[in-house]
Amino acid sequence: MIPGSSSESDGARRPDRVRLANWLLLRFILDVAAGLRASRNPMDGVIVATISQANVAAITRDLEQQALFGGADAPPPDDQRRPISVNALANTLRAPFETVRRRVRALEAVGLCERREGGLIVPTRVVTTPEFLSHVNFAYDRLRQLHADLERYGLLPSLPPAVTTLEPQARPVRAVSRLTTDFILRVVDEVTAEVGDLAGAVLFLELVRASTESLDPDLVGLGAWSGEQVFADELRRGVRPARLAVEIGQPLETVRRHVRRLQENGCCRRATGGMVVGREVMGGAAATRVMAANLVSLDRLMAQLSQQGVLQLWSALPRGEPAMTRTVPF
């Protein structure tokens, strides 16, 4: 038990839902986002995901279409993918138009997106490769694990009933992937709005995750997560830029440059063992707002999964963590 944690039984004190849910969802997002990196630059993975989600937004909103194009063997055809313009893409990403246009050209050159009348699409051939299917299967199982953790810690919201019934043998990895990617992009957008740029947001999230690994509720007890008090800085572990570079797949000098920018903006500071996102940041108004917004997005995701019969499908499966292998699809 960490210093300052409660001596009461975990059952006597409920964990703070906002803080613990954000701790869990952050780990989920970074595990899944590791497979969204389309090249050495993490921005490319987010660009590809954003284009693809815009292409299939109408399908994602339609329960019948979600079911029709839900399985691994049922990708939406190219003629059902609605193009997105580079200008709309840049606005969505909160990124300079010229930066996005330059990166899109590079992605077109390697075949990860195509220009059609009206804008850009990620074509069906990209999302039917063995590597991509391996990733969406990983993300599906990792989401099932997140749901199990939320249920185990009593963090699930009140959920709507299912309006779709799935066959017991169903594995709707594409339908779930569309919902999951929407959720991840919303969270990344919230952080980007506060940090200032996408690359800095990815690094900031990884820094928060790495410096709070020791706060795993299975190690410290749920009592440590009760109440709204932010954990003291001595419970956070400093993280060196070299480790961050490995985690996000970026050159060390690039990471150091972004860390300096985060430090100058007051988003992190130097501590024993490396950099930390301190208590003054995590307890501040911006972080509080972002975590509240993240919880709304998480509740929305769980409600969608419930309505589309996915949670009911999972509840009928044997308990236990699914086998997962982290892969990079592009």
Task: Tell me, yes or no, whether 320 lies in a domain.
Answer: no
Find out whether 124 and 77 touch, Cβ atoms under 8 Å: yes
| Model confidence band, residue 89 (pLDDT cutoffs 50, 70, 90) | very high
Task: Tell me, yes or no, whether 42 lies in a domain.
Answer: yes
Residue 185, Cβ neighbours under 10 Å: how many? 21
Task: Tell me, yes or no, whether 322 lies in a domain.
Answer: no
15: β partners:
226
Task: Tell me, yes or no, whether 326 lies in a domain.
Answer: no
Task: Tell me, yes or no, whether 327 lies in a domain.
Answer: no
| Model confidence band, residue 256 (pLDDT cutoffs 50, 70, 90) | very high
Q: What is the pLDDT of residue 155?
A: 95
- Written as six digits, the tokens of 263 are 């430090």
- Written as six digits, the tokens of 71 are 């399985």
Find out whether 126 and 164 touch, Cβ atoms under 8 Å: no
Is the pLDDT higher at 59 or at 317? 59
**Beta strand residue intervals within 61-188, DSSP E:** 114-116, 119-121
Q: What is the pLDDT of residue 188?
A: 94
The three state secondary structure string of 284-323 is CHHHHHHHHHHHHHHHHHHHHHHHCCHHHHHHCCCCCCCC
User: Rounded to whole angstroms, how far apart are CA atoms 183 and 298?
Assistant: 7
Of 72, 99, 83, nearest to 50 by C-alpha is 83
Find out whether 290 and 284 touch, Cβ atoms under 8 Å: no
Tens digit of pLDDT for each residue in 199-253? Answer: 899 899 999 999 888 888 887 777 778 766 677 778 888 999 999 998 888 889 9
Task: Tell me, yes or no, whether 31 lies in a domain.
Answer: yes
Q: What's the gap between Cα 227 and its chain centre?
A: 25
Task: Tell me, yes or no, whether 134 lies in a domain.
Answer: yes
Least reliable range by pLDDT among 1-15, 35-49, 221-235: 1-15
- Structural domain boundaries, residue 48: 13-315
| Model confidence band, residue 329 (pLDDT cutoffs 50, 70, 90) | very low
User: What's the pTM?
Assistant: 0.89
Find out whether 6 and 224 touch, Cβ atoms under 8 Å: yes
pLDDT at residue 328 is higher than 90: no
Tens digit of pLDDT for each residue in 61-78? Answer: 999 999 999 999 999 999
In DSSP notation, 5-27 reads --SS-GGGSPBPHHHHHHHHHHH
Number of domains forming the structure of the chain: 1
Task: Tell me, yes or no, whether 323 lies in a domain.
Answer: no
Tens digit of pLDDT for each residue in 150-170? Answer: 999 999 999 999 999 999 999
User: Rounded to whole angstroms, how far apart are CA atoms 5 and 19?
Assistant: 15
